[in-house]
């Protein structure tokens, strides 16, 4: 093949496209995953830290393996969050915090970056894995958010696993609730950021370039009965758009709702052409007050960002280029 023919085929391939192996000189990320187990205090019992590290490492490996095998991003998000919901170390599902009435009200959401379809549930009390119910709302109804008794009834109709309210109890969560009640009686009602925010979330980029995100929580310790935070609110605690990024938040939900935190990160990328890093930093450190929470996020190129303004945050991240890291605390 002479030089003219080589040039000809180079031009043709450039026009029709061929697999890209680098982006800005860096090896292309085929898939990526980032998980959080909540923002809050950096002062955690050493045994709890070790247990959370083990759990996050295991769930991160599961998500990475699924992505490596070509699983759909939504399937990975749901699977990983279900594991976190089943783990009493976190504030979602088993181990969820107590509300002011001494019960548990669970919230969750999931979003598909391909077409912005999404589903969420709020205030459920008998669903073992709220994130799976949120996905059913997305796929099996014309709605986005179902709440309280209606959500629990829908779960029963869908045949999802239901449990007795006592299933969600852990002694650790109850002790935190009792301390919170005692502290509330001694001080004014002025807002004070809590030290423990154990919401869980997962954001992934799959091999087909699709972004998915999900979040699940028991809410804030000693929250008022019926209170709904940001986790089941699309654009506040969860957002995913293949054109920009996926985001899952953890913190004081009222502020994430007020500032549409998850969507704001995407909007800054869409309309200002900010990088994910710049957008996330601005929202967490300029829009929110110190101590109010954090986010995990990744963009369509597989760049992963974790930002928080609390003393600590449990998080884990991995990608196809060999990244694999887990952190608890600072």
Instruction: Give pLDDT, residue 20.
Output: 40
Instruction: Give pLDDT, residue 43.
Output: 65
CA 93 to chain centre: 14
Catalytic residue flag (residue 199): yes
Q: By CB neighbour count within 10 A (0-12 exposed, 13-18 middle, 19+ buried), where does 150 fall?
A: middle
> Comparing C-alpha atoms, which of 292, 291, 297 is closest to residue 279?
297
**Paired residues of 203 in beta bridges:** 34, 213
Task: Return the structure tokens found at 327.
Answer: 């952190």
Instruction: Give pLDDT, residue 101.
Output: 94
278-314 residue pLDDT tens: 999 999 999 999 999 999 999 999 999 999 999 999 9
Instruction: Give pLDDT, residue 197.
Output: 64
- Mark 306-321 as b/e (b = at least 16 C-beta within 10 Å): bbbbbbbbbbbbbbbe
Instruction: Give pLDDT, residue 19.
Output: 38
Instruction: Give pLDDT, residue 42.
Output: 60
Instruction: Give pLDDT, residue 283.
Output: 98
pTM score: 0.89
Distance of alpha carbon 322 from alpha carbon 193, whole angstroms = 36
Which of 125, 139, 170, 199 is catalytic? The answer is 199
Instruction: Give pLDDT, residue 196.
Output: 56
**Domains in the chain and their CATH numbers?**
29-327 (3.60.20.30)
Distance of alpha carbon 159 from alpha carbon 114, whole angstroms = 27
Query: Which of the residues in the chain have pLDDT under 70?
Result: 1-26, 41-43, 187-197
């Amino acid at each position: 093949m002479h030089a003219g023919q080589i040039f000809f085929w180079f031009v043709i391939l450039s026009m029709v496209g061929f697999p890209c192996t680098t982006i800005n000189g860096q090896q292309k990320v085929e898939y990526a995953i980032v998980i959080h187990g909540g923002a809050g205090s950096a002062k955690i019992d050493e045994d709890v830290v070790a247990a959370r590290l083990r759990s996050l490492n295991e769930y991160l490996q599961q998500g990475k393996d699924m992505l490596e095998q070509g699983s759909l991003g939504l399937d990975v998000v749901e699977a990983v969050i279900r594991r976190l919901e089943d783990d009493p170390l976190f504030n979602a599902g088993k181990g969820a915090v107590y509300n002011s009435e001494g019960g548990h009200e669970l919230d969750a959401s999931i979003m598909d970056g391909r077409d912005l379809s999404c589903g969420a549930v709020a205030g459920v009390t008998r669903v073992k894995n709220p994130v799976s119910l949120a996905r059913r709302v997305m796929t099996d109804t014309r709605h986005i958010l179902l709440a309280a008794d209606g959500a629990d009834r829908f779960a029963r109709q869908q045949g999802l696993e239901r449990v007795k309210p006592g299933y969600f109890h852990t002694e650790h969560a109850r002790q935190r609730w009792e301390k919170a009640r005692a502290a509330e009686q001694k001080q004014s009602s002025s807002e004070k950021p809590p030290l423990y925010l154990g919401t869980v979330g997962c954001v992934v980029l799959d091999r087909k370039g699709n972004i998915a995100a999900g979040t699940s929580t028991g809410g804030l310790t000693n929250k008022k009965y019926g209170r709904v935070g940001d986790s089941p609110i699309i654009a506040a605690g969860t957002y995913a758009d293949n054109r920009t990024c996926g985001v899952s938040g953890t913190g004081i939900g009222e502020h994430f709702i007020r500032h549409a935190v998850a969507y704001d990160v995407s909007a800054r990328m869409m309309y200002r052409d900010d990088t994910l890093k710049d957008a996330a930093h601005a929202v967490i450190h300029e829009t929110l007050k110190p101590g109010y929470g954090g986010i995990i996020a990744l963009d369509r190129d597989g760049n992963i960002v974790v930002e928080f303004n609390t003393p600590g945050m449990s998080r884990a991240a991995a990608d196809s280029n060999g990244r694999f890291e887990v952190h608890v605390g600072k």
